[in-house]
Structure formats: structure tokens, C-alpha cells
């Protein structure tokens, strides 16, 4: 399935659920304790990350979406730490503060990238902690384009789910639920729920094959009046079910599974942001599947950014480098800039690639992070060089250039000059080879007008396509 990256920055999502702080203590374990058969960890560093519904909101912010978060924290330093981390990431936090219960915290001891033990500090929330929850949701729901309910079974959504789903549906926005436990009846009328396979089978029974999974999934859709059901299946990928559409099975995208912690948070955040940005459910699911494959390659709860997802999508479609159309190249340039990379642009006929070209392109590449080579098409070469040129047709010239280590992207143009491409791509550096003056470089004034710079590099002595052609002609070749 082909899909595009939607405008995540236009999406506004409200997340309600169980928030927690994930703490990690990292250290070396080189000996066994004399007190018990357990490793001794010399703690060298500590870190904290938002978990649960907080990780969902963090993922949304990393995608570039506007995320608001409602949950319960304690009146303690961990609660303030959680609020501070989320606010710094751009998440709007409107927390209820429990006067008697601590912020839910999970402490993991890590050594050599392996989790040795997890310590949980928590007390489930009750009605007293949730006083005012509905009012907070009502105040933030009006500006939202999707509502995410992140249920970790800690009490925030135990008795409130039905009312929150009703509020979201009355608002006319999708309500997406990451469920917990076996009481799925409380998720009735949601737009979409996203159980993993174990959670799904705990409700409907074992599914020994895909036919059984689809049959039981369709029955669950009908009984709960859901618009869709997305079952995440680990190494078997994902299955999307809808009442009046064929099932959609997507294979797992992960090349290496390092840690599945928080993968469900990434899935539901990409789903919500994609739907809020106007994407269809199948395309949103494909993006969520791609994001899940990225996040399981990271340690602990982690967020997938918009640029990461865009770059992974480019790899999926084989457009990371090489010959591209102008439209494909524009997407690749946007991704490169999102990663802080600068663009170098040069152009020419490149009819017969010689040592002068190779040396010139190598030096041009050193002026930035990515090098675009724009190539005159066959007709424009004839206009410039006369009858009998080019020696090599456009496709061959572009293929040779794309094979050079210094070259990232190759694109062709039919105009007399590359100025239309310069206007579209606006490279940071424009490079020309030869004995031109900087003021003679075509497009140079335009590049300088937006703050770019122009560089002129010399070819190697005695290296030119025309000289090679003349030498061959002199020899009767």
C-alpha cells in the first residue's frame, strides 16, 4: 500500500487517560551480589520519560500535532517532573492532582541494554481523584479533531469511558481507544479500539488462524457498535476490521525488535493524528504500522517524530537517493531539512562522465549535506551543444551520476536553464564548474536573494566532454 505523510501539524487531539512517569537507571553489572544471587548494578545515569497516556501525547507532539492531555498526578516531585517534561515537548497538560496518592511511577534498572527489574509505585485512582474530570474534558474537547482514551487500568477510565465516548461522538470527532482488561463493553460506540492480540483473545477466545480472528473480530464489532477494530499482532503485524469492508492485514515492519514498551502508544497516536489530519483509516493504519516498526527498535518508552516517519516512508518507496522526479525530490528535500541537512545544487549536461566531473562533484558535495545534480534532457543538450549531442541519452547519463558516491539525487529538466528547479528547491548552495565568474552563474542572483550562496569550482585540467569527443573524432572513432 502506498501512502503519503499527512499534515500532522494541522491536527489537534485531546488525550485522556492514565499518566505515569517512566524512570530508567542505567549502569554496569560486572559482579554478583554476595548477599543473594542477583547482579550488582553500578548506576551511572538516570532518565525519566512520560509513560501511559503521557507517552501518547508525547508521540503526538513529536509528530507535530497539537496535543492536550488530561490525567491524574500526585502532589509530589514526580508529578511536577512529568508535567515539566510534557510541557517542554509542547503538550498542554490539564491534570487533576490527587492529594493522597502518588504519581504512578515505574522504575526500570537497565544494564547492557537489558532490563533487569521493574519497580512500580502506584495506587489506583478512585472517584475522589477524578472530581472535575468531565468539566476539564468538556472545556478542551470543542477544539479537538480526535479524542484518544488511553486506558492502562489505573482508574482514570474505569467508570468514565462511556460518558467520554458519548461526548466525543456528540462532538462529531473520532474516538479512539487503547483498551485494557476484559470488560470491553464499556468501550461501546467508540469509533475504533486497538487491542493487542492477547487482549483481544482474552475477550473473544483463542484465534488459531486468521479466519477465526476475522470472524470473532467482526462479531465484536457488531456487538459493541464499533466502526473499526485494529488488532496489533506483534511479529504478525496488524489486522484492521470494519463492518462493511474486507479485512486489511499488514505485515510487521520492524527489522529488529529491541523493546516493545510503548509501541501501542505510538500506534494510537499515529492513528489519531492521521485521522485528525484527514487521512483515511486504511492509510492511517499503514502509517501506524510503519511507526510501530520504528519504535520497537528503541529502548523503553519512545516517541516517533514526523521526520523519522517521513524518512522511513521514503525508504519504503525506494526514494532515499538516486534518480527522482521533481515531485519526489521535493519530498526528499523537505525530509532532509527536517533533519537539519543543507542542500547543494549543481547542473549540467554530463554527457560523458570523466575524472573532471567526478572530482568536481566530490568537491561540491563537501559544501553541504546533500547534493542534487540536475541534468539537461536530450533536447536541451542539442540546443546547447549542437547536432550529434548528447552522445549518451538522458537515462544513461542519470544512471551513471546516481551511481557516484558523492551524488544523492539526480533530476532532469527540459528548460534552457535550471532556474525553475532552483525556485522550487531553493538550495542553500548553488555550485557551478568551470571558469565562470560568480555573477555569471545562471540562477545565482535568485539563490543569493533568499540568503543562499554561490560557489564556482574548477574542473581538473585537460578534462572536458568536448575535448574527449574531439579526440575520438580525430582518431576516426
SS3 150: strand
Q: Is 360 left (phi over 0), alpha (psi -120 to 50) or beta?
A: alpha
- Report the distance separating Cα 315 and Cα 354, nearest Å: 30
* Phi/psi of residue 210, nearest 5 degrees: -70, -35
181: its cell numbers: 482488561
Residue 475 neighbours by CB under 8 Å, 6+ apart: none
Is residue 265 annotated as part of the catalytic site, yes or no? yes
Write down the catalytic residue from 129, 259, 265, 408.
265
317-335 confidence digits (pLDDT tens): 555 678 888 887 887 888 7
Which runs of consecutive H residues, i.e. helices, occur in 301-436?
Answer: 306-316, 326-338, 355-365, 378-385, 394-402, 419-425
Q: Which strands, in side-by-side order, build the sheet including 245-250?
A: 92-93, 66-70, 12-17, 146-150, 175-178, 192-193, 228-232, 238-242, 245-250
The long-range contacts involving 202-211, CB below 8 angstroms and separated by at least 24 positions, are 210/239, 210/249
In whole angstroms, how far apart are CA 187 and each of 158, 184, 255? Answer: 11, 5, 33
Residues in the chain with pLDDT values less than 70: 1-4, 253-262, 295-303, 305-307, 311-320, 435, 459-477
In this structure, the chain runs to a length of: 477
- CA dihedral over 357, 360, 366, 371, signed as positive or negative: negative
Distance CA 444, CA 455 (A): 9
pTM: 0.68
pLDDT tens sequence across 382-410: 988 888 788 899 999 999 999 898 999 99
Grid coordinates given for 100: 493522597
Query: 12-17 and 146-150: which strand pairing?
Result: parallel
Residue ranges, comma separated, of all CATH 3.40.1190.20 domains in the chain are 8-305
The residue among 196, 179, 176 whose CA lies nearest residue 268 is 176
CA neighbours within 13 Å on the CB side: how many for 220?
30
Q: At what angle do helices 77-88 and 53-63 cross, to 10 degrees?
A: 20
For the domain spanning 8-305, the CATH number is: 3.40.1190.20
CA distance 56 to 434: 54
CA of 328: how far to CAs of 63, 232, 280, 325, in Å? 21, 31, 22, 5
**Other beta carbons within 10 Å of 396:** 13
SS (H, E, C) 3-37: CCCCCHHHCEEEEEECEEEEEEEEEEEEEECCCCC
For residue 179, the SS3 value is coil
Superfamily grouping for domain 322-474: HUPs (3.40.50.620)
- List 230's β-bridge partners, or say none: 240
Amino acid at each position: 500500500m502506498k501512502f503519503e505523510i499527512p499534515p500532522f501539524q494541522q491536527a489537534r487531539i485531546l488525550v485522556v487517560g492514565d499518566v505515569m512517569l517512566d524512570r530508567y537507571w542505567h549502569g554496569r553489572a560486572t559482579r554478583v551480589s554476595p548477599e543473594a544471587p542477583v547482579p550488582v548494578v553500578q548506576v551511572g545515569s538516570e532518565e525519566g520519560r512520560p509513560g501511559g497516556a503521557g507517552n501518547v501525547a508525547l508521540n503526538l507532539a513529536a509528530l507535530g500535532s497539537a496535543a492536550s492531555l488530561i490525567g491524574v498526578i500526585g502532589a509530589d516531585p514526580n508529578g511536577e517532573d512529568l508535567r515539566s517534561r510534557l510541557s517542554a515537548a509542547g503538550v498542554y497538560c490539564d491534570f487533576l492532582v490527587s492529594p493522597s496518592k502518588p504519581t504512578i511511577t515505574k522504575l526500570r534498572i537497565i544494564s547492557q541494554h537489558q532490563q533487569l527489574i521493574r519497580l512500580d509505585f502506584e495506587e489506583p485512582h478512585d472517584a475522589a481523584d477524578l472530581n472535575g474530570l468531565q468539566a476539564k474534558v468538556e472545556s478542551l474537547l470543542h477544539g479537538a479533531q480526535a479524542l484518544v482514551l488511553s486506558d492502562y487500568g489505573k482508574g482514570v477510565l474505569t467508570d468514565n469511558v462511556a460518558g467520554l465516548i458519548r461526548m466525543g461522538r456528540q462532538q462529531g470527532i473520532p474516538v479512539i481507544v487503547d483498551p485494557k482488561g476484559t470488560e470491553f463493553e464499556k468501550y461501546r460506540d467508540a469509533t475504533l479500539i486497538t487491542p493487542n492480540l492477547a487482549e483481544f483473545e482474552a475477550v473473544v477466545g483463542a484465534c488459531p488462524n486468521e479466519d477465526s480472528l476475522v470472524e470473532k473480530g467482526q462479531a465484536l464489532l457488531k456487538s459493541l457498535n464499533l466502526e473499526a477494530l485494529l488488532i496489533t499482532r506483534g511479529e504478525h503485524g496488524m489486522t484492521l476490521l470494519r463492518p462493511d469492508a474486507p479485512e486489511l492485514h499488514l505485515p510487521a515492519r520492524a527489522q529488529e525488535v529491541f523493546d516493545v514498551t510503548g509501541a501501542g502508544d505510538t500506534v494510537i497516536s499515529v492513528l489519531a493524528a492521521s485521522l485528525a489530519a484527514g487521512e483515511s483509516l486504511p492509510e492511517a493504519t499503514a502509517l501506524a504500522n510503519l511507526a510501530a516498526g520504528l519504535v520497537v527498535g528503541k529502548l523503553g518508552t519512545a516517541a516517533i517524530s514526523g521526520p523519522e516517519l517521513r524518512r522511513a516512508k521514503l525508504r519504503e518507496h525506494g526514494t532515499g537517493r538516486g534518480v527522482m522526479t521533481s515531485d519526489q525530490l521535493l519530498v526528499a528535500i523537505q525530509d532532509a531539512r527536517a533533519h537539519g541537512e543543507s542542500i547543494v545544487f549543481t547542473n549540467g549536461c554530463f554527457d560523458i562522465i570523466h575524472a573532471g566531473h567526478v572530482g568536481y562533484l566530490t568537491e561540491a558535495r563537501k559544501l553541504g549535506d546533500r547534493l542534487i545534480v540536475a541534468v539537461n534532457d536530450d533536447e536541451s543538450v542539442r540546443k546547447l551543444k549542437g547536432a550529434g549531442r548528447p552522445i549518451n541519452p538522458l537515462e544513461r547519463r542519470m544512471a551513471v551520476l546516481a551511481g557516484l558516491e558523492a551524488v544523492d539525487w539526480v533530476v532532469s529538466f527540459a528548460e534552457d536553464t535550471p532556474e525553475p528547479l532552483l525556485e522550487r528547491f531553493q538550495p542553500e548552495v548553488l555550485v557551478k564548474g568551470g571558469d565562470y565568474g560568480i555573477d555569471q552563474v545562471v540562477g545565482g542572483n535568485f539563490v543569493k536573494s533568499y540568503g543562499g550562496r554561490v560557489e564556482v569550482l574548477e574542473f581538473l585540467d585537460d578534462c572536458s566532454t568536448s575535448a574527449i569527443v574531439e579526440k575520438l573524432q580525430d582518431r576516426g572513432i
